Structure 1
Amino acid sequence: MSLKERIAEDMKAAMRAKETARLGAIRLLMAAMKQKEVDERITLDDAGVIAIADKLIKQRRDSVSQYESAGRQDLADIEKAEIAVLAAYMPAALSDAEIEAAVAAAITQSGASSPADMGKLMAILKPQLAGRADMTAVSAKVKAALAR
């Protein structure tokens, strides 16, 4: 079963169980997927769905920090619940050791030696780690590795 099919089945299950919060988050994801398909005239594969879910999770995290700084914990809790639903469709996150191993392999593969080569490394790492690691953390690890 593809990820799109799993999301559609989860939406039906949430409707049957009358889980309004979960249903809302899944509908949000389905709408974003449909929008991308219509705009670009493509059919999304699992990687495309993961990219969309990752983008939505990032947006929710930004909203949580803004709501908490504004003292609106009620709205932050809603966003956190949506993050939990969306995170279920993401692949398992990589550990720091796995990320560092991927960075070391990319450095070996590309022959990068200075911070000027960071763009080359990120171009190699992004497709490998997208959805499985926070790319800002990966970027920090790349900078640290190239600074040595």
Structure 2
Amino acid sequence: MSELKTAIADAVKTAMKAGEKDRLSTLRMVSAAIKQKEVDERRSLEDADVLAILDKMVKQRRESLEQYESAGRDDLASAERAEIALIGEFLPQPLTDAEIDALIDAAIDETGAESVRDMGKVMGIIKPKAQGRADMGAVSGRVKVKLG
């Protein structure tokens, strides 16, 4: 069992014992998403797979948060912020801009990429290193700028 799955399962138990209903609800939602992916793929997930799921969940909540804020729904926006913070507890420390640039430069050097056509090769090297630690859409944009 991956360390992240174990940590999430332990957090569920702790939240149950402490009677933290909102926290428990979010943690159960995370556990259900992980379990669903395992059932769909018929295999036990590794930490990298769990990170991808958590990253996707945070991204979805950020999009919802923007929509709720623009609609003036502060009650729903605060709930999304709380879920983002809770899921973020299980994500690794985010990469700084300098670290992202260093990863991009190293990947470009490693692949010998010269134009935007080589972007897939570069992103293939960056993704496993930055998954869950950086917004991959933003990283992709920065790679385009460097290769463009």
**TM-score range relative to shorter protein:** over 0.9
Q: Partner residue of 2:131?
A: 130
Q: Partner residue of 2:38?
A: 37
The equivalences for 1:63-142 within 5 A come to 63-142=64-143
Runs of 4+ aligned structure 1 residues displaced above 4 Å come to none
Q: Partner residue of 1:9?
A: 10
Q: Partner residue of 1:55?
A: 56
Comparing 128-137 with 101-110, greater Cα deviation is found at: 128-137
Structure 2 gaps of 5+ residues are none
SS in 1 for 2:90: coil
Q: CA-to-partner distance for each residue in 1:73-115, whole Å, 9 max, x for gaps?
A: 1001001100100000001111100110010001100001112
What amino acid is the match of 1:94? L
What amino acid is the match of 2:111? S
Q: CA-to-partner distance for each residue in 1:12-64, whole Å, 9 max, x for gaps?
A: 11111111111111001000011011111010111111111111111111111
TM-score w.r.t. structure 1 length? 0.95
How many angstroms does 1:116 deviate by?
1.8
How many angstroms does 1:141 deviate by?
1.5
Counterpart CA distance in 1 for 2:121 and 2:50 is 25
What amino acid is the match of 1:120? K
CA RMSD of aligned residues (A): 1.1
TM-score w.r.t. structure 2 length? 0.95
Aligned residues: 147
SS in 2 for 1:93: coil
Q: Partner residue of 2:23?
A: 22
Structure 1 gaps of 5+ residues are none
SS in 1 for 2:45: coil
